[in-house]
Chains A and B, each alone.
Chain A
Amino acid sequence: AQSVTQPDIHITVSEGASLELRCNYSYGATPYLFWYVQSPGQGLQLLLKYFSGDTLVQGIKGFEAEFKRSQSSFNLRKPSVHWSDAAEYFCAVGAPRNDYKLSFGAGTTVTVRA
């Protein structure tokens, strides 16, 4: 069964500083990996995804993530954070051989200080 670990529950970062959110996954085959963002009271918005090819993927809002098979990781990064990036971020692993079901991590809450 697939699973995701997000080690950081809460991260506070200054506006303009860089951000990195960690994600480790467990899956027996090549995973499909995703980062979703959830603003307060809102739904889940896809930031980016990896399923094959280049291990550095670009997403919306200036985010990128790097798939490292050797470390079973898919960390999310942004070079310069904006106040609007304050939200909860969820890493998820998909299982194409298991009805494409997604398993989510517990999420990381990002607070941006001025």
Chain B
Amino acid sequence: EPEVTQTPSHQVTQMGQEVILRCVPISNHLYFYWYRQILGQKVEFLVSFYNNEISEKSEIFDDQFSVERPDGSNFTLKIRSTKLEDSAMYFCASTHPGSLNTGELFFGEGSRLTVL
């Protein structure tokens, strides 16, 4: 069964460093998302991406964050200069809108980011 894959599963970085989290969505999907979950808290929407551009972003997704789909298969989240409060589990998700789509997002296993 096709699945969303994410790398790395865990990354430890120093504050101020750049981090890139990678995702390979399901191949025929057209909408892509990043969510994050700070330890013990709810899953929060960061950004949605469709047709090679951001379609919506939350207030969390400030200028330190960016996303791109560089090669038609990978979908990346970059944090330019990490802060302690960026420590969280980051989930990638995708979906394929269509007449049979029921709105389900398919989530990856997550990338845990620890900022020291």
Contacts and interface: CB of A to CB of B under 8 A. Distances in A.
Contacts of B101: 96, 100
B71 interface: no
Interface string B37-49: 0000111110010
Contact-residue size bin, chain B (C-beta under 8 Å from the other chain): 20 to 34
B95 A104 contact: no
Interface residues of A, number: 24
B105 A102 contact: yes
A90 B105 CA distance: 13
A44 B42 contact: no
B-side interface mostly: strand
A100 B31 contact: yes
Given A99-B50, A99-B55, A100-B97, A46 B104 contact: yes
Question: Would you call the interface of chain A mostly helix, strand, loop, or mixed?
Answer: strand
B68 to A, nearest CB: 17
Contact of B45 (A36, A42, A49, A101): A101
A63 interface: no
A43 B104 contact: no
Interface in A40-86: 42-44, 46, 49, 51
B31 A102 contact: no
Interface in B16-65: 31, 33, 35, 41-45, 48, 50, 55-56
24 contacts: A42-B109, A43-B107, A43-B108, A43-B109, A49-B102, A49-B103, A51-B103, A92-B43, A94-B103, A94-B105, A99-B31, A99-B50, A100-B31, A100-B48, A100-B97, A100-B105, A101-B56, A102-B33, A102-B103, A104-B43, A106-B41, A106-B42, A107-B42, A107-B43
Interface of B: 31, 33, 35, 41-45, 48, 50, 55-56, 91, 93, 95, 97, 101-105, 107-110
Interface of A: 32, 34, 36, 42-44, 46, 49, 51, 90, 92, 94-96, 98-107
